[in-house]
A and B are shown apart, each in its own frame.
Chain A
C-alpha cells in the first residue's frame, strides 16, 4: 500500500537551533497532516495541507507541501524545550483512514 518515508528518525538540537523533518511519498498525496506527540502523551493535530506548493505558518512552525504533492516538511525556528516530542506526518489513502509516517523524535537541550 501507499506509504510515506519520514526523516530523520531522531534529531537532537540545542535550544535556539532550527529543526526540520521531511515526509516523502513515491506517489501523489491528496493531502498531508502533521501531528505532534509529546512523551507520554497522545498525538495532537497540528495542521493539514491540501494544495500544491502550500505553505502554512503557526508561530515558529512552518509547514510546506511540495509542488508535486509528493513531499512535505515541518520546520521549527529557534527550538524551545516545549518543542520536544515526536512529529508524525500522515495522509488519507482513498477509501481508508489515516496512514502515519514513522515519525521524527526531537530532543532539545537547554
Chain B
C-alpha cells in the first residue's frame, strides 16, 4: 500500500476541459513534488513545494497550475492541455526538500488528452 494517495487513477479529458489532480500524504513530510513520466522515460520534475511554498518550478507551461492548500495536500490544476501532455503524473513527498531524503511516490494519475 502506498502512503501517498493520488486521485483520480485515470483521467481522460479534452483539450478545452479543466480538471484537477489531487495528492495527499499523512507522513508529516514537508516537501511535496509533481512529476511527469512518459512511457519508458524517467520521472521528470515539474514542481516542488517546501513547507507549503512553491520552491521549484521547472519551466512548466502555465496550463499546469500547482496548489498546496496545506502540508498534507497537493493539487495540480489542468487547463487547455495538449495531446503531448498525455502521461503518468506522479506525486511524491519527502521529509524535507534537500539533504537526500528518500521520496515516497503515489500510484500516479494516467492522463490522456483527446
Instruction: Tell me the dominant secondary structure on chain B's binding face.
Output: loop
Residues 45-71 of chain A, each 1 if its beta carbon lies under 8 Å from chain B, else 0: 100101000000000000000000000
Instruction: Write the nearest CB–CB distance from B57 to chain A, whole angstroms.
Output: 11
Q: Judging by beta carbons under 8 Å apart, are A102 and B42 in contact?
A: yes
Interface size on A, residues (CB 8 A): 22
Number of A-B contacts (CB under 8 A): 48
- Residue of A with least CB distance to B91: A42
Q: Which residues of A contact B107 (CB under 8 A)?
A: 41-42
Q: Judging by beta carbons under 8 Å apart, are B2 and A50 in contact?
A: no
- Residue of A with least CB distance to B48: A97
Given A97-B33, A97-B97: A45 and B42 within 8 A (CB)? no
Alpha-carbon distance A103/B43, docked complex (angstroms): 10
Q: Judging by beta carbons under 8 Å apart, are A98 and B40 in contact?
A: no
Contact of A97 among B2, B42, B56, B90 (CB under 8 A): B56
Given A42-B105, A42-B108: A50 and B40 within 8 A (CB)? no
Chain B interface size band reads: 20 to 34
Alpha-carbon distance A30/B103, docked complex (angstroms): 16
Instruction: Write the nearest CB–CB distance from B53 to chain A, whole angstroms.
Output: 14
- Residue of B with least CB distance to A9: B40
Instruction: Write the nearest CB–CB distance from B46 to chain A, whole angstroms.
Output: 10
Q: Which residues of B contact A43 (CB under 8 A)?
A: 43, 90, 92, 103, 105
**Would you list the 6 A-B pairs with minimal beta carbon distance, nearest first?**
A100-B42, A45-B102, A31-B100, A42-B105, A92-B100, A97-B48
User: Footprint of A on B, CB under 8 Å?
Assistant: 2, 31, 33, 40-43, 45, 48, 56, 90, 92, 97-100, 102-108
* Apart from A43-B103, A43-B105, A48-B100: 19 A-B pairs, beta carbons within 8 A: A30-B100, A31-B100, A42-B106, A42-B107, A43-B43, A43-B92, A44-B105, A88-B42, A92-B98, A96-B45, A97-B31, A97-B33, A97-B48, A97-B56, A97-B97, A98-B45, A98-B103, A102-B41, A105-B40
